[in-house]
Structure 1
Amino acid sequence: MADDAIVAGRIILGLKTLCDHLGCSLREALDAYVARYEQLRRERPADFAKSHEEYWANFHS
């Protein structure tokens, strides 16, 4: 489920999913999210509809 949210650019849903699944803080979930995002970008670049810059354009942590 987190991978689907990450690929779709649903950052908040992905963070919530990781918090629930890992039982961690929001900060830890963000670190996990970014690491997984980077891995998915390398392994499945065609699955992402937006460029890296567009993906993170409206997200500020």
Structure 2
Amino acid sequence: MMGRRYLKSGDRVTFESHDEQCKPFQQSGTVKQYIYPDFHPDGYIEVVDEAGDIILYGNAGKEIQKTR
């Protein structure tokens, strides 16, 4: 069993996104908000880009990886 995800505001993360032609690419950003309620297996996450615009929100699945 996987433990809780330990992501917090300010963490740099990468995840797979898709461009206008639906081609996958690695996107990176900074965690703005991460909520881990007891009733949800992955939690809720908001990731922002350099300008502070939200580029990802929703389930914090395992495809979201913290970068070192």
TM-score class, shorter-chain normalisation, is under 0.3
TM-score by length of 2: 0.25
Higher strand share: 2
Higher helix share: 1
TM-score by length of 1: 0.27
